[in-house]
Chain A
Amino acid sequence: MATTKQKAHIQITLNGEAIEVAFAPHKTLLEVLREDLALTGTKHGCELGECGVCTVLIDGQPMLSCLFLGLDAEDRQVTTIEGMAEGGQLHPLQETFADLGAAQCGYCTPGFLLVARELLEKNPSPQREVIQEALAGNLCRCTGYIKIYEAVELAAARMRGEQVDVPRESIYGFEV
């Protein structure tokens, strides 16, 4: 068989927990997460670094797990969508994505959420253009991105401690 090689055995801090994992050494982090760790929340759309759906955070930075060797994750902090909610509490971005319909089919959603999380950690008050720039590496075919921007903006405001409602226009449309 092509794959009967000795497995690599490494330690990763995965979603805040130190774990050990053994896998065929040629595997990408995407494959290790999905196949060896059963964390299927990380998706694949191209395996060529084109679509962004496999994005995870490595030491806090968004990375395409399809282009990242599993071996290179050794002793690094890896955060996947499964680790985004903490203590049973959804992250504010997860709340707003769900509430505003920023997730339609939901397939690109994990990638967008992780990129957005990193953005807001870096910049708590991003302008619309900054959000667009930050999310430009992630494709979404359902939403036209607009509900995603609105969800990021609403989560940012809530994380800043502001009491804000969803703009009426984004739910009921423009009033003429």
Chain B
Amino acid sequence: MTTDNKYNGGQKKVIGKPFRKVDARAKCTGQTRFADDIVLPRMLFAKLLRSPVPHALIKHIDVSKALKLPGVIAVITGKELPIPYGILPVSEDEHTLCIDKVRFIGDPIAAVAAIDEDAAFDALDLIDVEYQKLESISSIEDALATEEPRIHEYGDGGNVHKKVALEFGDLEEGFAEADLVREDVFFYEGNTHLPLEQHAAVAHFDADEKLTLWSSTQTPHYVHRALAKVLGMPASHIRVIATPNGGGFGGKSDPFNHEMAIAKLAMITGRPVKITLTREEVFYCHRGRHPVLMWVKTGVKNDGAITAMHFRSFLDGGAYGSYGVASTFYTGALQTVTYDVPRYKFEGLRVFSNKPPCGPKRGHGTPQPRFALEVQIDKIAEQLQLDPVAMRRTHLVKPNTITANYLRVGSIGLGECIDKVVEASDWQAKFKRLGYGKGVGFACSSYICGAGLPIYWNNMPHSGVQLRLDRQGGVCVMCGSIDIGQGSDSILAYIVAEVLGIDPFDIRVITADTDLTPVDLGSYSSRVTLMTGHASLQAAERARELLAKAAAEKLDVPTECIAFADRRVFDVEDPERGMSFAEAVQLAESKFGTIGTVGSYTPPRSPGRYKGAGVGPSPAYSYSAAVAEVDVDPETGIVVVERVWIAHDVGQSINPALVMGQVEGSVYMGLGEVLMEEMAYRGNRNVVHKFPSMLEYKSPTTLEMCDVKTILIEDPDPNGPFGAKEVGQGPLLPVPPAVVNAIYDAVGVRIDEVPATPEKVLTAIRSKAQGKSARYGPKSVPQVEWPEPIRVATPAEGGDGKELPRVAVHSRE
């Protein structure tokens, strides 16, 4: 790790300081150019014809009338782009335009390019499609009960996309040791990202047959790969430029139909083509939070120590694979990184249904199990008559641990998070003491700082940076990362500025352009600060070394004595002796030639060696603890969250103001999920989305947003650049369970389901008043046949991270 005193006598000038973001003023003056703001000469406008039925065979498509409409230049259908794609190599099950079958309302069938948007829109009505309707599937239970028709012809049988089973350690032994074994069932409804910017893209195919795509995507590298595949073109002839995303939250992480379609239309017409989705279409793109049904069986000792945990999850994946296989594993991966879970079994399955596909949303597959886990722990604490905070605090994972499922935890600031948040919220004075209708609830969580493995198998770096220094003193940092509002462009500038002793605003940042910038895998899995941070740090240190050598020669001092600060390069022993930064670049350029350096980062190898070990490992884990205070109206069931106190272990803030913004934004999004947000469909009415509009899809306005008291915990992680860990996703996780636990403290009802809408809360309150169940939530999970688990001995059992031989396991039973 970089030591403090290496730079400028131990005084960090940029890291840890609340600098403005490098793109902040552009965003406050309307100058930031988002994808839909791009206008090119002779540009055409595209629209997609989307299926009005949830599940049907396409018998016939006739586009002839549409083609005759004045202003329409081209119409394409699925057979023109027959090569499938998909974000994960194991589920490349999407076509740009459906060829023989539609799988949800909104599935695209044809694409029109016309001289204006109105003509393109009118042309959609002139395309005749003949459907043969198929039985549709609208829920997890439906999917498991329906063998035929299958939505896809691949997967783990019937309409099950993926089924997995992993077992770490001797579970039965663990349950036998327990003083209390609890089983609970939970449901977390799906919800969506709702970025304010609708997806948009512009494609241009030039006279030299090179394609450029500008798109509001979080993953330009993966879009680049998908375009090359679908178009059958060399990737070297394709340039993808990710425009600043007007909000992502995971919703712009897949390669999308509209990107492929306009690329093809641009190639056919020889004219630039733009597409901007309507808000309704954004709901159909979705890729948001999976609805997950969960069953958790946990054994504990009387002091709350967990002896074993068995977790089952059932994910409603919607119509396509998307990130679903990863999402499935994520619902079972991070249970082990907060409290010590010595033996652990996970069984998970994802079904296909005739709904917009689910994928990654902030926290990807982990808020649902975290909700289940933290609410169950609250119940356990009550049953054991233990304080729910103290019980958790006693059994935290220790730093530098390898968990039962082989996740390597480095730093863990969770204990401090708990202590601070308890003190700040005055928990002891409030818990069980606020009187009927008011309550407090507590929860903890953890999240990865970047996925340990890339989406497609390779041994290359996950992030690359090129740095160019010019003789005028200009510094340009180039990286494939894309700023989705989290500030990733600024992180590059801050780190380079710190190392080179210049101002972040001296630096030109060029990102997310596959022609100009080295690959970064994208803005997902909270990977960007950690990974681009390391890559930019390495590139900057290499440049610094060249400049230091040249300056040392000139000043006739050892290289180690050269310091960089305040746009100067000088002798640390005699700071007056030195030169401007630009002069140092000139000396270096004279000595070494043009100054350009590179940096790259590959995460450390994970200790897990079993099949399925690819999801969960990360260079580091962030931690959060939260207390929510609520006011529940027993007459209406309306829950008002008055305040959330949250402590987040970020390792080291690269910029505390941006960290605060991420924490507050995460609390906001968690609040929306627990109180109101849901992607809901009318299963009995053709699986129509209940409300694909912003008015009816409820999300918190200023009037619903709670007060937030944030506490930053800095426990530097040796694997983070300057010790930094993630903050963009983790702080969402404790909010839903903390609120639901607070509802229990307020009115004594358990809402084992998200969102905890007034209707559900009131139902539970009334039921309790009638002497019936004081709980609202699912009663059971479907009985399914799980595969024989992959068994792995835990580190405590002397395991090596590899799957145990199956034969030996069978013989033991």
A contacts, CB < 8 Å to B? 1-3, 34, 38-48, 50-51, 53, 80-82, 84-85, 90, 94, 97-101, 103-110, 113, 131-133, 135-147, 149, 166, 170-176
Given A101-B658, A105-B247, answer yes or no on A113-B699 (Cβ-Cβ < 8 Å): no
List residues of B whose CB falls within 8 A of some A CB. Answer: 18, 20-21, 23-34, 36-37, 39, 70-71, 115-116, 118-119, 122, 193-198, 244-249, 278-279, 420, 423-424, 484-487, 645, 656-658, 660-661, 663-669, 671, 693-695, 699, 701-703, 705, 708-712
In the complex, what distance in Å separates the CA atom of A84 from the CA atom of B34? Answer: 19
Q: Choose from A34, A50, A107, A166 the contact partner of B246 (Cβ within 8 Å).
A: A107
From A45, A82, A101, give the contact of B661 (CB < 8 A): A101
Q: How far is the CA of A108 from the CA of B39 in the complex (A)?
A: 21
In contact, B656 and A172 (Cβ under 8 angstroms): yes
Residues on B with C-beta less than 8 A from A50 are 279, 693-695
Give Cα distance in the complex from A103 to B31, angstroms: 13
Q: Which residues of chain B come closer than 8 Å to A144, judged between CB atoms?
A: 664-669, 671, 705, 708
Do A145 and B705 touch across chains, with their CB atoms under 8 A apart? yes
B116 to chain A, nearest CB (A): 6
CB distance A46 to B279 under 8 Å? yes
Are B660 and A170 in contact, with the CB atoms below 8 A?
yes
Docked complex Cα distance between A135 and B701 (Å)? 8
CB nearest neighbor in B for A39: B30
- Is A110 in contact with B30, judged by CB distance below 8 angstroms? yes
The verdict on A43 contacting B24 (CB below 8 Å), with A3-B118, A3-B119, A147-B661 known, is no
A-B contact pairs, 12 of them (CB 8 A): A1-B119, A45-B694, A48-B279, A81-B30, A85-B29, A98-B20, A98-B28, A101-B660, A109-B28, A132-B703, A139-B694, A146-B708
Select one of B424, B693, B712 contacting A172, CB under 8 A.
Answer: B712
Q: Are A140 and B196 in contact (CB under 8 A)?
A: yes
Q: In the complex, are the beta carbons of B29 and A81 less than 8 A apart? A: yes
A105 x B244 contact (CB < 8 A):
yes
Given A104-B486, A172-B656, CB of A3 within 8 Å of CB of B196: no
Do residues B244 and A143 form an inter-chain contact, with CB atoms below 8 A? no
The closest CB in chain A to the CB of B33 belongs to: A40
B21 adjacent to A107 (CB under 8 Å):
no
A100 to B18, CA, bound (A): 8
What residues of chain A lie closer than 8 Å to B193, measured between beta carbons?
A: 141
Q: In the complex, A149→B657 CA distance in Å?
A: 14
Tell me whether B424 and A98 are in contact (CB under 8 A): no
**Complex interface: chain A residues within 8 A of B197 (CB):** 43, 45, 105, 107
Across the A-B interface, the 4 shortest Cβ-Cβ residue pairs: A41-B30, A105-B485, A106-B27, A107-B246
Complex Cα gap A148–B196 (Å): 16
Query: Contacts of A133 on B, CB cut-off 8 Å?
Result: 702-703
Question: Could you list 14 further interchain pairs (A-B, Cβ under 8 angstroms) beyond the known A1-B71, A98-B28, A145-B668?
Answer: A40-B34, A45-B197, A48-B695, A97-B24, A105-B244, A105-B484, A106-B246, A133-B702, A140-B196, A143-B665, A144-B667, A145-B705, A147-B660, A173-B663
Which A residues are CB-close (under 8 A) to B420?
176
Partner of A106, one of B118, B244, B702: B244
Known contacts being A139-B699, A144-B664, A171-B656, is A107 close to B247, with CB within 8 Å? yes
Instruction: State A88–B702 Cα separation when bound (angstroms).
Output: 31
Q: In the complex the two chains form, is A51's CB within 8 Å of B116's CB?
A: no
Task: Give the interface SS of chain A, mostly helix, strand, loop or mixed.
Answer: loop
Q: B18 to chain A: which residues have CB within 8 Å?
A: 166, 171-172
Task: Name the contact of B21 in the complex, choosing from A38, A40, A98 (C-beta under 8 A).
Answer: A98
Could you tell me the distance in whole angstroms from the C-beta of A47 to the nearest C-beta in chain B? Answer: 7
A18 to chain B, nearest CB (A): 21
Contacts of B33 in A (CB 8 A): 40
Verify B195–A136 contact, CB threshold 8 A. no
B116→A1 contact, CB < 8 A = yes
Contacts of A34 in B (CB 8 A): 37
Question: B21: which A residues are within 8 A, CB to CB?
Answer: 98, 101, 103
Chain A residue contacts of B30, Cβ below 8 A? 39-42, 80-82, 110
B690 CB to closest chain A CB (Å) equals: 16
Q: What is the distance, in angstroms, from A155's C-beta to the closest C-beta of chain B?
A: 11
Q: Given A101-B657, A176-B420, do A45 and B198 touch, yes or no (CB 8 Å)?
A: yes
Neighbouring A residues of B693 by C-beta, 8 Å: 46, 48, 50
Distance in Å from the Cβ of A7 to the closest Cβ of chain B? Answer: 13
**Contact residues in B for A141 (Cβ distance below 8 Å):** 193-196, 247, 249, 665, 668-669, 699
B442 to nearest A CB, angstroms?
16
Residues of B within 8 A of A43 (CB): 34, 196-197, 246
**A34: min CB distance to chain B, Å:** 8
In chain A, what residue has the closest Cβ to B195? A141
CB-contact partner of A139 in B119, B196, B485, under 8 A: B196
Expressed in whole angstroms, the minimum distance between the Cβ of B219 and any Cβ of chain A is: 16
Residue of B nearest to A170 (CB): B660
A100 near B27: Cβ-Cβ < 8 Å: no
Instruction: Quote the shortest CB–CB distance from A98 to chain B (angstroms).
Output: 4
Which of B24, B279, B664 touches A98 (beta carbons < 8 Å)? B24
Find out whether the CB atom of A103 lies under 8 angstroms from the CB atom of B664. no
The answer to whether B661 touches A105 (Cβ under 8 A) is no
> Roughly how many angstroms separate A48 CA and B31 CA in the complex, as a whole number?
24
**Complex Cα spacing A104 to B485, Å:** 4
CB neighbours (8 Å) of B29 from chain A are 41, 81-82, 84-85, 90, 94
B702 engages A145 (CB within 8 Å): yes
Closest to B706 in A: A144
A85 to B31, CA, bound (A): 12
How close is A65's CB to chain B, nearest CB, in angstroms? 13
Residues of chain B with a CB closer than 8 A to A172's CB? 18, 656, 660, 712
A105 in contact with B705 (CB, 8 Å): no
Chain A residues in 8 Å Cβ range of B645:
174
Known contacts A41-B30, A106-B32, A174-B424: A1-B694 contact under CB 8 Å: no
Distance in angstroms from A158 CB to nearest chain B CB is 15
Residues of A within 8 A of B246 (CB): 43, 105-107
